[in-house]
Amino acid sequence: MNKKLHLALLFGGNSSEHDVSKRSAHNIYDAMDKDKYDISLFLITKNGVILSNEASHRVFNGENEDDVVAEELPKLDQSNPLANIINLSKVKDIDVFFPIIHGNLGEDGTIQGLLRLMNKPYVGSGILESAMGFDKDITKKMLNLNGIRNTKYELITPFNKDDWNYDKLSQKLGKVIFLKPANQGSSVGIHKVTNEKEYEDSLSDAFRYDYKILAEQAIDGPRELEISILGNENPIASCLGAIKVPEDDAFYTYDNKFVDASQVQFDIPVEVSDKLSKEITEMGLAAYRALGLKGMARIDFLVSKDDIPYLGEVNTLPGFTNISLYPQLWEASGISYTELIDRLIKLAFDEFSRKAEIIHDFKPLS
């Protein structure tokens, strides 16, 4: 009988998507083949402390997180600069990590850097690739460099914000503009603006989440289409899915995604022309390769009324909740939830081995 793999599931985090991550972790845990994996849990609290496996299981099994955190934090030696991550050292035989931390410190390359220092395989993209995929400004620069169509935008920071106002932006981008923090996920801090007052109020709010704000061109009456990508050097693409949000909503909001999806219509797989399907698939795979992504990504597209697709966002650690599109698209494409997790773990080992071979084969100049 083969020895079980010891997998550690990292979830939570100190971003606005903390609770979403917890729901994703539950779904992954439930779908995993327990005959193949022993599973340890590490909850990252809202203030960035990694709880022990035992404490994380208590929260996972329904105990109030705040109560568990209040009990566990005094046990840590705060004079130790590694206090926040010291609990990872208590489980020494972990074979592979599965981070499912959405947003800051999880999707931006931070946790990937820690796992790289620990010399452990992990699911998903590497440090640089995660950081590029998370930063909407850098993503767009890479898309433009590789000729992949996306919406026009201008970057606003505290240093140049006085150079821009609504009238000046609307001359470049059109009368409807979206403001987006560059480093936030799941529609957090996003605003639709159509006049100067809305622009000023929305920009002020967006700066609460990041110091880089994208002012982005709106597409008139777009359809929102999604595609899931799986793989390392030779990625494959799922079928396409569509999202239709309530008419009162300007875009696919945080609440639509994670709180109440009852008014959102999912069409999986969606019927589109062969031409559009092929173009979106090619664009998605091209973006995945251009950013050097590994393991997985969900890529969002906006399609104009004349069937022109624009790549919207790249999500390198997509949600795995019961209404998340990434696993649903693969289910519709013939890969079950359990098989999807198995494939992602194998891809993690493949990428770890590839990097190890590069380091082993490297010969410095004499």
Binding-site members are 300, 313, 315
Q: Of the residues 21, 125, 238, 324, which is catalytic?
A: 324
Is 17 noted as a catalytic residue in this protein? yes
Q: Of the residues 15, 16, 17, 21, which is catalytic?
A: 17
Q: Of the residues 15, 21, 24, 186, which is catalytic?
A: 186
| Closest to 287 measured CA to CA, from 141, 170, 174, 98 | 141
- Measured CA to CA, the distance from residue 243 to residue 253 in angstroms comes to 11
Dihedrals phi, psi of 215, to nearest 5 degrees: -100, 115
| Closest to 99 measured CA to CA, from 15, 183, 36, 208 | 15
- Measured CA to CA, the distance from residue 38 to residue 271 in angstroms comes to 40
Which amino acids are annotated as binding site for Mg(2+), given as ranges?
Answer: 300, 313, 315
Site of tokens 């698209």 = 329
32 C-beta neighbours (distance < 10 Å), count: 19
Q: Is there a contact between 154 and 305 (Cβ–Cβ < 8 Å)?
A: no
Distance of CA 278 to the CA centre of its chain: 24
Q: Which residues contact 203 (CB under 8 A, 6 or more apart)?
A: 156, 161, 179, 213
Q: Which residues form the catalytic set? A: 17, 186, 324
